[in-house]
Structure 1
Amino acid sequence: MNYSLTISVDSIDSDFHHTCKIDIKPWHFWAKKGYKTFEVDGTHVEAYWDLRSAKFSGSPEPCTDFYVALVCDEEVVLLLGDYKKKAYKRTKSRPALVDAVLLYKKEHVFGKKCFTTRAKFDHRKKEHDIVVESSTSGPRDPEMWISIDGIVLIHIRNLQWKFRGNQTVVVDKQPVQVFWDVHAWLFCSPGSSHGLFIFKPGVQETDSDKEDSSHNDESDCSGGSRYYSTQSHSKASQFCLFLYAWKIE
């Protein structure tokens, strides 16, 4: 199987967009360790990677025994993988003051009735198994099930009328918003388009929340003070999973 890694760097001051693509060949004589350099707004940027011992677990994304490092001004501005000591030793650069944050993940999966992936909704917690199953053919009305860690959290009956929707579920004591759009599964030819699923930690803002926010703004203008518990108003994870599910015959 062929793998590739793409590093994209966007300029803040201009529309410049640089992409560095790393192809991981399956050939036994191709060393899965390398180095590339490029420039962004006149600044020298270096990319290092070592995927020789990388292990995969049912996903095109390596899970252990690898590193990918991006270096600028002798600082490792982006570091992926668990071989951190090896990365710092090879790059001879200092760690960044702020760790990189995974904002979103896009994944394309293909199947007839079942689509699976894995994701972390909180980097401090374990990875979760996500399974989407569907029944869109036959004499019965179409249905869909969304399971996380083997537990069915969403069951949609009469999918022909509810092909778009959203629901909030609780995963490991954490609320997660789930959005779906499977119009293509029901009304397009197989393989021509995909169903889309979005998993976003946190709860959806309601109209009452917006009203409370506006009231809070008014009280702030009047000179009052308001204090919040950091425990009850902790920030939700910014991570978001986009799952593109392609139905094939």
Structure 2
Amino acid sequence: MKDFPSCFGENGVQVADASCTSASSISSAAASISNNVSKARASQNMVTCVYQCKLLGKSRLIIINWSKSLVGHCFSVEIEDLSRKCLNRIDVKPSLFTKRRGLKSLQVDFVTLDVYWDLTNAKFGSSPEPVEGYYLGLGYKGEMILLLGDLRKEMLKKTKHLSNSLRILKREHVFGKKFYVTKAQFKDNGPVHDLRIECDTFGLDDPKLVVRMDSKIVMQVKNLVWKFRGNFTISVDGLPVEVYWDVHEWLFGSTTSSAFFMFQTCPGYGKSGAFADRSIVPWSYSQGSNFCLTLYAWRND
């Protein structure tokens, strides 16, 4: 078993003004979330996705945060500037009295980007990230640099060109007693899998950890008391995927602490190094790196 890496990454809404936030502030906020269960439970309804895109010939990180409040679903869009020290951001919040589609401008490095969205018929599962019936796009001078959702044809009619984007990170909080579930897509335009983590540590002398993909067992760890941290390679859609786990807090820590899981596609693994940063934005993430799914699993005792 390899060493476990040091890993502890129109009108339908109210739109907050674009803002700029330092990376250090974001990292500090992320650390606070990790250590405060009340904030963590609030973030149960947040999914962070990071994409690598090209703007003005330069590679940029674009961060989409999907969240859910008592009023409804909302999202934010953040894009880094050329210095990689600042995030330019807009927040899109739901309104009870208007439609859920719109257009808003975002200033980055003295250029204007257009953010388009339509969540009118969006469908959601257990996650605040929509499953289908929506689009979210980021455009510049008629070129879409990022386009998400299954209603892409409608958006592409309004643009000249669609640039390639690379999805590099998804981060999510999941809750349960014995079972922790989410959706996972390891290849762009590839199938979406049902991912389920099974682990019962309450009152058991020999707890075990099981990971299922579409109901099929892809990984099983016995003697978990001795193997509370580790990694193992599985195969998904013909890709090797490295699975890292740390369930120390479930076994020996507070009942309000989370376990940590990371699923990282392996092409090029070992050249750029494994990424498992708990910060919101992987600022050190190199170009051409692999996709990484990170999960914080919280027990509902």
The reply to whether TM is greater than 0.5 is yes
2: CA distance, partners of 1:18 / 1:51: 22
Q: Which residue number corresponds to residue 169 of structure 1?
A: 234
How far has the Cα of 1:171 moved from its partner? 2.6
2: CA distance, partners of 1:76 / 1:203: 27
Q: Which residue number corresponds to residue 10 of structure 1?
A: 80
Per-residue CA distance 1:121-179 (angstroms, 9 max, x = gap) = 12243111111111111143222111111112222122121111000112343321111
CA contact (8 A) 1:177 1:202 kept: yes
Q: Which residue number corresponds to residue 199 of structure 2?
A: 134
Moved over 4 A (4+): 203-206
CA contact (8 A) 2:177 2:299 kept: yes
CA contact (8 A) 2:89 2:106 kept: no
1:115 aligns with 2:185: no
- Choose 1 or 2 for highest CA Rg: 1
Q: For 1:194, which of 254, 258, 263 is the aligned residue?
A: 258
2: CA distance, partners of 1:172 / 1:42: 41
2: CA distance, partners of 1:149 / 1:131: 8
Per-residue CA distance 1:196-242 (angstroms, 9 max, x = gap) = 11111226857xxxxxxxxxxxxxxxxxxxxxxxxxxxxx9822111
Q: Which residue number corresponds to residue 66 of structure 1?
A: 134
Q: 1:173 to 1:100 in 2, by over 3 A?
A: closer
2: CA distance, partners of 1:49 / 1:76: 13
Q: 1:56 to 1:14 in 2, by over 3 A?
A: closer
CA contact (8 A) 1:177 1:204 kept: no
1:125 aligns with 2:190: yes
Q: 1:21 to 1:111 in 2, by over 3 A?
A: same
CA contact (8 A) 1:68 1:81 kept: yes
Q: Which residue number corresponds to residue 223 of structure 2?
A: 158
Q: 1:20 to 1:151 in 2, by over 3 A?
A: same
Report 1:39-118 matches (<5 A). Answer: 39-89=107-157, 92-96=158-162, 98-118=163-183
Q: For 1:37, which of 105, 110, 135 is the aligned residue?
A: 105
Structure 1 range deviating more: 42-51 or 52-61:
52-61
1:24 aligns with 2:89: no
Gaps of 5+ in 2: 1-69, 271-287
- State TM-score, norm by structure 2: 0.65
2: CA distance, partners of 1:43 / 1:238: 29
**Percent identity between the aligned chains?**
37
CA contact (8 A) 2:268 2:289 kept: no
2: CA distance, partners of 1:128 / 1:237: 22
Paired amino acid for 2:170: K
Q: 1:74 to 1:246 in 2, by over 3 A?
A: same
2: CA distance, partners of 1:46 / 1:204: 34
Q: Which residue number corresponds to residue 39 of structure 2?
A: none
Aligned residue pair count: 215
Paired amino acid for 2:86: F
RMSD: 2.3
CA contact (8 A) 2:177 2:200 kept: no
CA contact (8 A) 1:109 1:244 kept: yes
1: CA distance, partners of 2:84 / 2:269: 34
- State TM-score, norm by structure 1: 0.78
Q: Which residue number corresponds to residue 247 of structure 1?
A: 299
